[in-house]
Amino acid sequence: MAGLADFRETVGIVTGASSGIGAQLARDLAARGMRVALLARRAERLEAVATDIRRAGGEAAVEVCDVAEGSSVERAVKAVLDRWGRVDLLVNNAGYGRHVLFKDHDVADIERMMRTNYLGTVYATKAVLPDMRGRGRGWIVNVSSVAGKLGQPDEAAYSASKFAVAGLSEGLSYELAPLGIHVMTVYPALVRTEMFTPAVLARMPERSMSFVEPAVLSRDVLHALARGRHEVTVPRWVAIAYVLRVLLPRFHRRMTARIRLPVLRDLTT
């Protein structure tokens, strides 16, 4: 399957386009000529991104949508198909994290996180598939996380939701390839977005904090998409940890425990 590099006459959907990574990807896709539908819950934030895109000469549509609700996603995707008649690219990016020890994490929020991060990806993928299958062409980009490759303390439920996205995405990459649909999984490490509130930053040891900007993430994602890659970790060097985990598991455990140890002192209280 060829990569996607020529965005002229194409239509894309970006979920979670009201801020951070999704907003940046939407702007960059629109700047390359793609008509982009922006999905998220906050209408005014989506309108602000759409206005930026239009001012820059691009085309954008806003669909307010809660990805945790299947009917909401179906309605939004149908609106895009009614408007533009096709979907070439779906970016499943909507999601949220929670830095909290598992013992303190509300089960209702764990369920909501799974519905948003994992089932949101399922709902949107299901909704675009008939169109992509009908045309024998499409690209699906699923935003997991390095926490979806390497389980993280203080984010166990978030890690689980991102492992779920990664598993779905990898499985689909094989299953959908014969249908002409390319699936790529994105594994960001730390990207400077609203996800990192002062409260979240206060829980993280400074040593682990090496952020990339959303523009860098977006550039690397579009580069990988153009080359037809099936996965991309940003920054790339972080992927060394995946190898260490397999080849030197005890060393990997010691490093992870050491980096995160300050957070774990809460466990004794």
Ligand X SMILES: NC(=O)c1ccc[n+]([C@@H]2O[C@H](COP(=O)([O-])OP(=O)(O)OC[C@H]3O[C@@H](n4cnc5c(N)ncnc54)[C@H](OP(=O)(O)O)[C@@H]3O)[C@@H](O)[C@H]2O)c1
Q: Which residues bind ligand X (CB under 6 A)?
A: 15-22, 40-42, 45, 65-68, 93-97, 116, 143, 145, 188, 190-191, 193-195
Which residues of 8-120 form beta strands (DSSP E)? 11-15, 35-40, 59-64, 89-92
Distance between CA atoms of 51 and 222, rounded to whole angstroms?
22
- In the complex, minimum distance from the CB of residue 134 to ligand X, in angstroms, rounded to a whole number: 26
158 is catalytic: yes
DSSP for 125-158, written as a single string: HHHHHHHHHHHT-EEEEEE--GGGTS--TT-HHH
186 SS3 class:
strand
Catalytic residue among 96, 158, 174, 242: 158
How far apart are CB 135 and ligand X at their closest, in Å?
Answer: 26
Report yes or no: 72 and 52 within 8 Å, Cβ to Cβ: no
CB of 75 to ligand X, least distance (A): 13
Cβ burial of 74 (10 Å; 0-12, 13-18, 19+) is middle
Nearer to ligand X, 36 or 67 (CB): 67
How near is the Cβ of 105 to ligand X at its closest, in Å?
16
Q: In one letter, which amino acid is 94?
A: A
Minimum distance from CB of 99 to ligand X (Å)?
11
28 vs 7, 14, 56, CA distance in Å? 11, 11, 11
Burial zone of 198 (CB within 10 Å; 0-12 exposed, 13-18 middle, 19+ buried): exposed
CB atoms within 10 A of CB 51: 12
Give 137 or 183: the residue with its C-beta nearer to ligand X: 183
Q: Is 148 left (phi over 0), alpha (psi -120 to 50) or beta?
A: alpha
Give the active site residues.
158
